[in-house]
């Protein structure tokens, strides 16, 4: 067990799988009391059990963040109850990724993407910011995407939604700094949870071919970055988007 987040409480949305799961486990290992949240109670229970087996503290709160203020309020209230009335760190990770291009994205799909990826974290942050202020401050970490700075022909509305969340990161940093709240974002590269039963090449690997890292990243790598941004080690870091992408956006990709 580490101590980098000792005594802190954290709510991590969409933390029953992949990146969110990696962040939740990393937080538990560094001493935070974690609320794991998501739609799937069975997977949530597995993450909680893993954190507890590692010696950490965790609870599961079911949440269906559909973008409504009511859904965000319900999650905020439940998390505050589970964490003893205080949320020190909010990680806005929950999101959806329809791979549609512009011509095959209908209005319903577009609205759902922005509801889950932008409206839900907007209203959840709005609900928790006053509580963070009352407790003496806190940290908000948003999950963006490398696709925001690399033009792609698919997932167009998703990319736009992540661009909006990165813009909110900078605006919230300016808005909430006086309240003692630091706001930053992580922009992951292509991240996959290893599947022991999977054989053969994964198409996602091609998107990281030619990068300095050379292959897809792991949820654990994003978890470690989130630990840094949630800890006091990053007290001088405000309004930034931290690229944790194996060099995908910073270095010319030459696929061989």
CA 31 from chain centre, in angstroms, equals: 19
CB 91 within 8 A of CB 11: yes
Sequence-ordered strand ranges (E) for the chain: 9-12, 33-38, 57-62, 89-92, 138-143, 181-188, 241-244
Active site members: 158
What is the pLDDT at residue 234? 98
For residue 13, give Cα distances in angstroms to 38, 154, 238, 253: 6, 25, 21, 32
pLDDT at residue 202 tops 80: no
**pLDDT band, very low/low/confident/very high, at 192 (cuts 50, 70, 90):** confident
Helix and strand totals (H; E) in the chain = 7, 7
State the average pLDDT for the chain. 95
Q: Where are the domains of the chain?
A: 9-244
CATH number of 9-244: 3.40.50.720
Q: Which tens digit of pLDDT belongs to each residue from 78-135? A: 999 999 999 999 999 999 999 999 999 999 999 999 999 999 999 999 999 999 999 9
The pTM of this model reads 0.96
**pLDDT band, very low/low/confident/very high, at 200 (cuts 50, 70, 90):** low
Q: Map residue 99 onto helix, strand or coil.
A: coil
């Amino acid at each position: 067990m580490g101590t980098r987040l000792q005594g802190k409480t954290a709510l991590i949305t969409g933390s029953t799988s992949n990146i969110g799961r990696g962040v939740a486990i990393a937080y538990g290992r560094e001493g935070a009391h974690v609320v794991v949240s998501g739609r799937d109670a069975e997977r949530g229970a597995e993450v909680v059990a893993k954190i507890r087996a590692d010696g950490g503290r965790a609870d599961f709160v079911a949440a269906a963040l559909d973008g409504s203020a009511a859904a965000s309020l319900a999650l905020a209230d439940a998390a505050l109850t589970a964490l003893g009335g205080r949320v020190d760190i909010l990680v806005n990770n929950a999101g959806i990724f329809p791979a549609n291009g512009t011509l095959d994205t209908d209005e319903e799909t577009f609205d759902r993407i922005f509801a889950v990826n932008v409206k839900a974290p907007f209203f959840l942050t709005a609900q928790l910011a006053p509580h963070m202020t009352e407790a003496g401050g806190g940290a908000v970490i948003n999950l963006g995407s490398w696709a925001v700075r690399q033009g792609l022909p698919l997932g167009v509305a998703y990319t736009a939604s992540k661009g909006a969340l990165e813009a909110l990161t900078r605006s919230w940093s300016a808005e909430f700094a006086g309240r003692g709240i630091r706001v930053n974002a992580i922009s992951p590269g292509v991240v996959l949870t290893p599947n022991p039963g999977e054989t053969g090449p994964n198409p996602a690997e091609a998107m990281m071919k030619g990068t300095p890292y050379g292959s897809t990243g792991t949820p654990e790598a994003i978890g470690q970055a989130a630990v840094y941004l949630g800890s006091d080690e990053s007290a001088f870091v405000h309004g930034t988007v931290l690229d944790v992408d194996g060099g995908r956006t910073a270095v010319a990709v030459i696929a061989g």
